[in-house]
A and B are shown apart, each in its own frame.
Chain A
Amino acid sequence: MVPNHSSAAKAVNYLQTRHRFHWGEAIPWILAILVFYFLPGYRLLATQILVMIIFALSLDLIVGYAGIISLGHTAFFGTGAYITALLATNNIPDPIIGLIAAAFGAAILGFLSGWVLLRTTGLTLLVLTMAVTIMLAELANDFDEITGGFDGINFTNSDIFGLIELDQLWYSSSYIYVLIVLFLSFLFIRTIIYAPFGRMLIGIRENPRRMSAIGTPVHQRQVIVYVVSAAIAGIAGALWVQVQGNVTTEVYAFELSGDVLIMLILGGTGRLYGAFLGATVFKILENVTEQVLGTDQPYWQFAIGLVLILTVLFARRGLFGIFEDLGNKWKERGQ
């Protein structure tokens, strides 16, 4: 590379290659397959992590790329979950149909609530998203004739394509099923992010007024990304209950909204793989601390609290930021 043109050439090079797959991107998928073969006893935990990754990815679309902070993303997760469960108990037990219906249902809710709520920002938006979720949780509890209330509903899905049973003990087929859905969702989100639409979202995140001034219909674009995010969150919710075989009002829990936001920020927002890292670290911390230190005291809460505080103080862009920094240093040294 000629030194004189280096900055311009770098920029062009960056624009031409940023959407290409980097070899490092294969790592999480290889890990996921290794877990399947070598840690079969951890498959349910791993399945739950995979679902949480999808959920966190959907949140990353709005938080990390569009700058919309929500403490109520379980509204869509829970809606997807209930749609799937209710279809299954009403003689439509096909899991794939369940996923698609969940995505549509959550998207419709996303459109309705997004159209209204996204006119606000900051704390107001935070409180509004929270209030909507809590109201949905109350509704689910009140209409227990339909939802089973606090006790929830147990249901069984039919086999995938009529061939593969969703295994509820060893989680072999369930794990692969969720992994494939994660992969497809990820590809979809990645494509959006690197398309001009994704660049425009980042523009809105950084400066909505300027984007508006150059002619971008900001509100409309925010609603679109909100709907897409809601649909993916709905899929995550549907998967969550399909692999469990039951649904309770907890799918609307405000705490879960908080947890998924924590996972995302912990991993790093606006960088896709942050969701992978955050969800994994959070769930493993939650589980491992109690297995190592025992359950006599809430050690896991303390451990998570500590990790969050340290991350904010020392890893500015989330845990994934640490990897990026290390990667950059390595590159610099190479030059």
Chain B
Amino acid sequence: MKKFVAMSLVAVAFTIITVKATEAREYKIGFIGPMSGGAAQLGQQMKRGAKLYMKLHKDQLGKHTIKMIVRDSKRPGGPIAKAAAQELITREKVELITGLIFSPNAMSVAPLVNKSKTPVVIMNAGTTFIPNMSPHMVRVSFTMWQAGVIIGEHAASNLNCKTAVAGYTNYPPGKDSINAFRHGFEGKGGKVVDEIPMGGPGKVPDFTPFFQRAKSKKPNCLYVFVPAGNHAAAVAKTYQALAMRKAGIRLIGPGDITQDTQLQGMGSAAVGLVTAHHYHMFLKSAENQAFVKAWKAEYGANNPPDFVGVGGYDGMAAVYAAIRAANGSKLTSAIAMKALKGWKFESPRGPIMIDPETRDIIQNIYISIVRKKGGMLVQETQKTFKAVKDKCKELKLGKCGKKLY
């Protein structure tokens, strides 16, 4: 009898909770990204990705609804993003923060959410150790180490590169990227003969002096890291203008140098570039083809998606997963992190998963080559590396191995 009472009490309590929990609820989330200034097109891509997911998956939340409040982080340096996050948390009472392009912006938000215990889904910020700064953060984009090590190994083993020059945009993700490249390349017997810092991320430099310097070292390969956005086209054009291919130097890099939105503008300069990356819009999977089709239907055939857009799309998928887990109750960091650690998703970029240990993404990395087909530039996948983890955190190098909160 006692047992029965206890059990029925539990049952009643459970019903009350579930009844309460299934009341329709509006979830307010904050989205912070650069909407003006030099990186505005990245912010626009990311927002488009997020909005597309919301449009295509309206019914996924059941009777709950979601409201996304967008704030402009304007510059990459931190303070504006931080002010936006503080205002979103304290005034708009958002329950989750997402978006975030540029590492300093994500980093400046970390101490804030450590106080407020607001979950954060990072859609695009590259510095490897960012998730170590807050237990409330997950990242769905990528780290420099994922593509960097693989392209380094590929260059030494399959592209006949004995020597390489590495040029990079002089800021932490750039250094991450060449460290990863060196790790992979020299691990397979290659030799990096020169490392050239090529200006800061804020503005696109004329790459000519740096590439001329690289050319004078006569390497087999030129590895280039530049941030997503305007830099890519200038890289390919300079490479072509300086006739470096004729000089026997092969241009390789992470997929930032063949970003889909920039690709057609590069013209014939891009043909033959070999990159390693987690996404390009020509991936053959059904998920991706449906995604690209929906994207073009929504934003026009001349506005293709790229990896930043996919970051926005997948990030929103993660947000939806967290909201579904909360199912009507308040979306706390505990609920969100529980739902997202180990979260799996069939993304346009292939299967992805959030590593339960590091809260960073595990995903496929594709080696691709740019080819010309019917007057258009396309990327062809040559090799797929499945479920790649962030090497820096696996090896616990420097800050990658430390808890920073």
Q: Which residues of A does B touch, CB under 8 Å?
A: 40-45, 48, 141-142, 144, 149-152, 154, 156, 168-171, 240, 244-246, 248-251, 253, 255, 290, 294-296, 298, 300-301
Contacts and interface: CB of A to CB of B under 8 A. Distances in A.
Interface in B99-138: 103-104, 107-108, 110-112, 115-116, 127, 133
B127 A151 contact: yes
A45 B83 CA distance: 6
Nearest to A255: B75
Contacts of A44: 82-83, 86-87, 90
B70 interface: yes
Contacts of A41: 87, 90-92
A159 B200 CA distance: 35
A298 B89 contact: no
Nearest to B78: A248
Given A141-B171, A150-B200, A151-B103, A298 B87 contact: no
Nearest to B35: A295
22 contacts: A41-B90, A41-B91, A44-B90, A45-B83, A45-B87, A48-B79, A144-B175, A149-B170, A150-B200, A151-B103, A151-B104, A152-B107, A169-B89, A169-B90, A169-B115, A244-B79, A246-B108, A246-B111, A248-B104, A253-B77, A295-B72, A298-B40
B30 interface: no
B49 interface: no
A80 to B, nearest CB: 15
B107 A301 contact: no
A246 B405 CA distance: 13
B35 A48 contact: no
Interface in B33-92: 35-37, 40, 43, 70-72, 75-79, 82-83, 86-87, 89-92
Closest 10 CB pairs of A and B: A41-B91, A250-B77, A150-B171, A295-B35, A298-B36, A44-B86, A169-B115, A151-B172, A295-B72, A41-B90
Contact of B172 (A150, A255, A301): A150
Interface string B128-168: 00000100000000000000000000000000000000000
Nearest to B114: A168
B201 interface: yes
A152 B104 contact: yes
Given A169-B115, A245-B111, A246-B78, A300 B91 contact: no
Contacts of B75: 250, 253, 255
B133 A149 contact: no
Interface string B310-338: 00000000000000000000000000000
B107 A154 contact: yes
Contacts of A42: 87, 91
Contacts of B90: 40-41, 43-44, 169-170
A165 to B, nearest CB: 11
Given A169-B116, A300-B36, A244 B108 contact: yes
A309 B72 CA distance: 24
A253 B111 CA distance: 23
Nearest to A302: B36
A49 to B, nearest CB: 10
Contacts of B175: 144
A141 B70 contact: no
Given A149-B170, A246-B107, A249-B77, 13 more contacts: A48-B79, A141-B170, A141-B171, A144-B172, A150-B76, A151-B104, A244-B108, A246-B104, A294-B70, A298-B40, A300-B36, A300-B72, A301-B36
A154 B110 contact: yes
B103 A171 contact: no
B112 A169 contact: yes
B88 to A, nearest CB: 9
A301 B35 CA distance: 11
Nearest to B40: A298
A63 B110 CA distance: 38
Nearest to B88: A41
A246 B133 CA distance: 13
A85 B175 CA distance: 23
A253 B80 CA distance: 14
Contacts of B72: 290, 295, 300
A157 to B, nearest CB: 11
A202 B108 CA distance: 42
Contacts of B87: 41-42, 44-45
Nearest to A51: B79
B116 A240 contact: no
Contacts of B71: 290, 295
A64 B172 CA distance: 40
B50 to A, nearest CB: 13
B48 to A, nearest CB: 11
A150 B72 CA distance: 19
Contacts of A171: 86
A240 B79 contact: yes
A303 to B, nearest CB: 12
B78 A168 contact: no
A298 to B, nearest CB: 4
Nearest to A247: B78
